[in-house]
Structure 1
Amino acid sequence: RVSILRSQFVHNHLVVSNSEVSGGGWPTFAARGEQNDYLPTWLQAAGVTTALIGKFLNEYPSGKITEVSPGWNTWVVPTVEKKGGKPWQAYTGYNYTLNFNGKLREYGSKPTDFLTDVLTQQATDFIATATSPFFLELATFSPHDPAPIADHHSQDHLFTAVPRTPSLNVAGIGEAQWLSQFPVFPDQRIAKFDKLWQQRARSAESVADAVDSVLATLATTGHSDDTLVVFTSDNGFHAGVHRLPKGKRTAYQEDTVVPMVLIGAGIPPGTKVDAMTSTVDFGVTFAKVLGAQSPTWADGRDLTPFFTGQRPASWRTGVISESMGKSLPSDPDYSTFSPPSFTALRTEKWLYTEYADGGIELFDRAMDPYEMHNIASTANSTLMNQLHSQLQALHTCGGATCLVADSMSN
């Protein structure tokens, strides 16, 4: 989330986890002063009306429970109802407290209190009354565990299950040491993953409702054609692939390749772009769209040329993923397993990962799309050196040097 808001890779913003104890979360973001120089402050400086409705950062708030982060004209964010309260209550969908621009409002367990629906209503109210130009971040908690389901979707029956991909509950070839320890799950565990998948799908129905409501409100207010709507996620999710329990902290495609759908602003319907993009691109792109100035230290690239189907002559050849912090039991995303810290380079053809314990993985994405056959031990040394060099360049880059590192030959 910080990479989106700061347009920086993890090694530059240094909010490395969800928890202050392990160097992350809102407390670290605030302590580093990064809340004074990020996307909403860039936009406000250009006269843009801004709103954050939904989740901000993990472990918000850490001090005053009515605190509002700089840069937001409208702030509707779950908080704790009292000092020492449960910060993760909002994930359940009920019995939470919202901070409305510094004033608290408590919600209960009635069907009308369901969090995603409440956030959606606040978002559409903002759109209906906002002064243009405006920027809205609507950040739902669903379908995050425990994946609550809206009352009006409680009787829906979605016949879905964990995708039966070749990597589901199967050992790969040449696995990294940390992964090779995991046994095959019994059938009963896969059945539990199926139920989890169904639960998350039903929870996501309220997110789909939110998208519909936002688009309908834009149409009603006459803003459909001049508003850019972006649907995406800050992470993926896995359950059972590579014999892993549920989680999201790996370099594999289930965790790091996320959807991005853009609607409006003159983008031709049905346009598909296969260029390599990253969450660090959002900040500089949104600033460009809204006429704001992004800082020279930003690591991301401007995506606006793709809106009209014009791929820049020089574009990135690889995207980096960095896992530098630990997951703790107090973390809402805590899992009983965690791979070693790693840096990973994903290119159009390769996934190359270096682990802190010395392990290395290399997958040929064209021949091995489910990342099952680690060929690091037999790969050409020239190729390995090229991938290592680009990964190291990206892991140490900043600002303009990232635009050089991410376009190196591989």
Structure 2
Amino acid sequence: MIKVLVRISFVLYFYHTFGFMRKLSAPNVLLVLSDDQDVELHDKHWLVRSAQHLSNDSVFTIDKYFQRRWETLLAVDEMMVTLVTVLNETQCLDNTYIIFTSDNGYHLGQFAQPFDKRQPYDTDIKVPLLIRGPGVPAGRLMDMPVSLVDLTPTILEWVGLSVPNYIDGRSFKSELLKEQQKNKKLQFSKQRVLLIEYWGEGNDDTYNPACPGHRTDHLAQCTLDADCHCQDSWNNTYTCIRDFRYNLDRIYCEFRDTENFLEAYDLHQDPYQLQNIVYELLPMERALYGLLLQNLTKCTGRTCNI
């Protein structure tokens, strides 16, 4: 029997933060902010565009968050050693797939956004995916676009079940198990687009009277430890296309706000997403991306495999 174990890292962070794990320490770890810390934000959507520079107190708080995340990983390392040891001792390791991933990324100071996960940038939407198990060569880096929705069809194929037509995502079982030389990148077609969606959670009930603003602004996640940088709002609602076709790595986003704001980035040329190139795209390109978004937000199952 094939076993599949999925480890979601945010659960471990929650447990550590609230004291359910023993204290681990990484006191000398400091966050190195990337080039997007002090850039002009005039070409970003309203929530990011309106952000003020982070204070020294906020930067100190972000450093503490970063340290705690490393501390959490120390606990993850220990737990994974224990898990693999038990699987080996019970002779289950050779028929068990272990998946390590996360439900979201997490920005820490990028674009003057203190610590959260609600923006359409790689800090927030890109997640780790590590897999070990029978037939998976050690040391392989798979250079392919994968979404979390792909895990379900992949797991179904691992255990010998057919994938129903209504299941979203596509299996990457065959690519994962291909025989390749150790430590070599696996190169194959990337002709795919992925859907990214987020609905802003701001409403009357998310108002924080300790921070500036009004209840009717529908801001959210405004906290004193972040200098009242509000990290969500009603108009922080968007759908995006991540386009990997034709050797591209491009993201195109449409915001559901009063501005009908658009953002697009070429991740090959601009990995930190500093320059919004949406109006450098041809009108036909923007129209085609809009049609793709309409299709991907309504389709289900195999009809979504564009």
User: 1:169: Cα distance to partner?
Assistant: 4.5
Aligned counterpart in structure 2 of residue 245 of structure 1, from 75, 92, 114: 114
Residue 142, structure 1, aligned to residue 35, structure 2: no
User: 1:304: Cα distance to partner?
Assistant: 0.2
Residue 318, structure 1, aligned to residue 193, structure 2: yes
Aligned counterpart in structure 1 of residue 173 of structure 2, from 304, 318, 323: 304
Aligned counterpart in structure 2 of residue 338 of structure 1, from 212, 232, 235: 232
Correspondence 1:179-190 to 2 at 5 A: 179-190=48-59
- Output one character per residue of 1:85-134: Cα deviation in whole Å (capped at 9) or x when no partner: xxxxxxxxxxxxxxxxxxxxxxxxxxxxxxxxxxxxxxxxxxxxxxx444
User: Cα–Cα, structure 1 residues 157 and 323, in superposed 2: closer, same or farther, change >3 Å?
Assistant: closer
User: Cα–Cα, structure 1 residues 289 and 361, in superposed 2: closer, same or farther, change >3 Å?
Assistant: same
CA distance in 1, matches of 2:187, 2:162: 20
User: Cα–Cα, structure 1 residues 300 and 151, in superposed 2: closer, same or farther, change >3 Å?
Assistant: closer
User: 1:153: Cα distance to partner?
Assistant: 4.1
2:252 is aligned to 352
CA distance in 2, matches of 1:149, 1:209: 17
User: Cα–Cα, structure 1 residues 133 and 322, in superposed 2: closer, same or farther, change >3 Å?
Assistant: same
CA distance in 1, matches of 2:283, 2:14: 41
Query: Does the aligned pair in 1 maintain the 2:106–2:116 contact within 8 Å?
Result: yes
User: 1:163: Cα distance to partner?
Assistant: 3.2
CA distance in 2, matches of 1:345, 1:163: 29
TM-score (norm 2): 0.79
Gaps of 5+ in 2: 180-185, 207-219, 223-230
User: Cα–Cα, structure 1 residues 231 and 241, in superposed 2: closer, same or farther, change >3 Å?
Assistant: same
CA distance in 2, matches of 1:216, 1:146: 23
User: 1:231: Cα distance to partner?
Assistant: 0.6
Paired AA for residue 335 in structure 1: Q
Query: Does the aligned pair in 2 maintain the 1:170–1:243 contact within 8 Å?
Result: no
CA distance in 2, matches of 1:245, 1:198: 15
User: 1:216: Cα distance to partner?
Assistant: 1.6
- Output one character per residue of 1:339-370: Cα deviation in whole Å (capped at 9) or x when no partner: 52110111232111100011100111111100
Residue 362, structure 1, aligned to residue 296, structure 2: no
SS in 1 for 2:144: coil
CA distance in 1, matches of 2:269, 2:107: 21
Query: Does the aligned pair in 2 maintain the 1:150–1:206 contact within 8 Å?
Result: no
Correspondence 1:128-277 to 2 at 5 A: 132-139=1-8, 141-144=11-14, 147-148=17-18, 152-154=22-24, 156-172=25-41, 174-277=43-146
CA distance in 2, matches of 1:290, 1:312: 26
User: Cα–Cα, structure 1 residues 158 and 148, in superposed 2: closer, same or farther, change >3 Å?
Assistant: farther
1:86 is aligned to none
Residue 390, structure 1, aligned to residue 292, structure 2: yes
Paired AA for residue 376 in structure 1: V
CA distance in 1, matches of 2:103, 2:255: 22
How much identity, in percent, do the aligned residues show?
23
Q: Give the number of aligned pairs.
A: 269
Paired AA for residue 105 in structure 2: G
Query: Does the aligned pair in 1 maintain the 2:12–2:76 contact within 8 Å?
Result: yes
Higher mean Cα deviation, 390-399 or 282-291?
Answer: 390-399
CA distance in 2, matches of 1:283, 1:323: 21
Gaps of 5+ in 1: 1-131
CA distance in 1, matches of 2:178, 2:284: 34
- Output one character per residue of 1:246-302: Cα deviation in whole Å (capped at 9) or x when no partner: 111111111110000011211111111121110111111111101223322111101
User: Cα–Cα, structure 1 residues 135 and 227, in superposed 2: closer, same or farther, change >3 Å?
Assistant: closer
CA distance in 1, matches of 2:98, 2:15: 26
User: Cα–Cα, structure 1 residues 150 and 324, in superposed 2: closer, same or farther, change >3 Å?
Assistant: closer
CA distance in 1, matches of 2:5, 2:66: 29
Paired AA for residue 375 in structure 1: I
Aligned-pair Cα RMSD in Å: 2.6
User: 1:327: Cα distance to partner?
Assistant: 5.9
SS in 2 for 1:300: coil
Paired AA for residue 321 in structure 1: I
CA distance in 1, matches of 2:122, 2:188: 27
